Structure 1
C-alpha cells in the first residue's frame, strides 16, 4: 500500500531526528504539522516546498501520487459547488467517478449522500431513496448519528413530496425517537424534523397533532438565534389555528411571524453597515481588522438566512487579499464565494476574473486564461460591457505574457468593441 503524504513526511522527520516543533519552526504551528502527518490537513505547495527543504528531500518525492489525491479533493469541491449552484446533473458524474475511485481525503459516505441528494433534487425519487437507504445502513453500522438523522429527514422529505404521508411520518418519527432516546442532534436539524412532523399532520388535517409538534419545535428554538425558522413556525401555527377556527390565536401568531420577518430585515441593514466598515478597513490597509469584521458578518448573515450576502463577503475578502498578494487565502475565498452564486450571476463572473488574476500572479497562465474566459461568457450574456472591457484587458495581458500575440490582439479588438458598446449604452457615443 502506498504511503500517504503525511506518512512520508512523518517517516522522514523521524529518520532525521526532528520533532514536530523542529519541523514547524518558522513555517506553521506544531499542531498543523501534526494534522498534515495524520492526513487531516493538506499543505499548500509553498509550505510543502519549505517542508521538503527542511527535510533535505526533493519535493517530487512527496508529490508522487499526492497530485492524484489533491485532484480528487478538487473534483469533490467542484461537485459540491455545482450542487450549491443547483446544477445537480453536472455534479452527479463527478461524484460517481469519486465513488468508483475513492480517495482517503474524501469521505465515501459523504460522496454517497451527495449523490442521493442530487437524485432527490432532480426529482429522481426512486434512485434517491435507494441511495439514501444504502447510506443509512452504512451510517447505522458506523454509529454515525449525524448522517443517520440527515438521511432520515431526507427520506421523509421525499415521501412528503410524493404525498406518501404515512411513510414520511415513519421516517421523521424514527429520527425523532432516536433524538428522544439521547442521541445528540444539531439544533436546527432537530427543530426541522419536529416541524416537518407538524407539517405532515397539518396536511392530513390532524390539527391537534400538528399543533403539538409545532409547539415542540418552537420550544426547541426558544432563546436561539434561528429567527427565520422561528418565524416559519409561527406562520404555520397561524395557519393551524385558522383551520381550527381559533381566529384570535391565528392572528396573534401571524403577527409574531410578521414581526420576526420585519426584524430580520432591520438586522440585515445593521449587518450591511458593519460589513461596509470591514471592507473600508481592508481598503485602507487594515486587512486583519477587515478579516475579523467580515468573518463576524458572515456568521451574522448565516443566522438570518442571508446566504447570498455571505458569498459577496467571501468575494470582497478575496479582492482585498489579492491586493495584499495573499494569493492562497484569496483563492480559498473565491472557491467559497462560488458556492453561493448562481451560474448566471454577475458576481460569479467577478470571482472567475479574480481567479484569473490569482493564477496569473502564480504563473499558471493556462488556468488564468480559462478563468477569464468563463468571466467573459457571463459578462457577454448579461451585456455587462464595462466589465467586459476590464476582463479583455486582463486576458490580453496574459496572452502577451504567454507570447501569444495573435490572441492578445484579438482581446484588444474585443475590448475596443465592448468599450464602444459601453459608451453607446451610457449615451456618450451617438
Structure 2
C-alpha cells in the first residue's frame, strides 16, 4: 500500500476531513496530491499529520506486509485476553483487512474488528461482516483456534441484530469448532450461547434447555460461579417460557440460594423480576406486584432505569388482567416514555399489543385493529419473528370472527411467513 493511500485510510478511520487534517500544515491541493499518489510527503510532514491523527510516524511509513504479522498476532491475543484495543491498533487492522494476508491472519483481523464494532458501532460492524463473508469461508479448517473466535463474534453480531437464524448457524459452528475442549469453560459458554439463541427461535424450548443444562454441568464441574448463576437464570426463563412454572420456581430457588454467597446484588433484580413473572402467570397478583416493584427499585438504585421497562410491562399486564384501566394506562404511559427515551423497539411493540387489549375491552375495535396492525408492521421491520406470529394470529382471528375474511387471510399468511 502506497503511503498516500495509507494516510487517506487512517484519516477516514479517524473521521477527519482533509481540511481538518492539514490545518496549519499545508494546502488542500498538496494533501490531495499525496493521497492520490502524485506527490511524496517529507518526513517532517508525516510527523505533523501523525500527531494530528494520534499515531506514530512509523505507523504511516511501515508498508511491509510480511513484517506486520507479529503485530496482528499481538493485537489478536491482547483482545482475547482483555476485550480492548487502542485506536492505533484498530487503524492498523482496518488498513490490513483487505490486504493479501493468509486466511488465518484475515480471520484474526476480522474477529477483532467485528467484535469491537459490534459493541461500539453496528453500522461499521455490518460493513465488516459483509467484507468478511466475501473473503473467508466458514468451511475453512485449521489446528489453530482463531476460526472458533471468528464464529463466536459472528454469532454475537447476528444475535444483537435480531437475526436469530444466522445467529443460530454461527452458534452451531462455534460449538462444533471447540468440541475437543470437552470440559472447558469456553465450551460451557458456547452451549449457553446456543441455548439462548434457540430460545429466540423455538416455541418448544426443550432443546434450548438441553444446551443450557450442558453448560450448567460444565460450569459446576469447573466451579465457575459467574457461569453457574447465568445458566440458572437462563434455565428458569426457558422453563417459564414453556409454562413449566414449578420447574421455573425450583430453578429460581436454586439461583436464590446460590446468590447468597455470590454476587447477590447482581442477581437480586433478576430474581425479583422472574419471581414476579411466574406469580403473575399463577394469578398470584399481590405477590407478583410486590416482586416487580422490588425489581424496579433495584434497577433504579443501580441507575439502570432502562431495565425497569421489563417490570413496567408486566405491571401493565397485571393491571389489564384486573381491569384496572386507569392504573394500566399510567404504567403504559411510563413504558412508552422509556421505550422512546432508550430506543427499545421490542418493548415498544409489546406495549402496543398491551394497549390494544384495553381498546378491545372497551369495544373500540377500530383502535384495537389499528394498534395491532402497527405492532405487526414494526415487528416485521425489526425481524421479531415470534412477535410477528403471535400478534398476526390474534389479528387474523379477530378479523375472522368479524367475517372480514380477506383481512383474516392476510394476517394468517403473515403469521405463516414470519
What range describes the TM-score normalised by the shorter chain of this pair?
A: 0.3 to 0.5
Q: TM-score, normalized by length of structure 2?
A: 0.42
Q: TM-score, normalized by length of structure 1?
A: 0.41
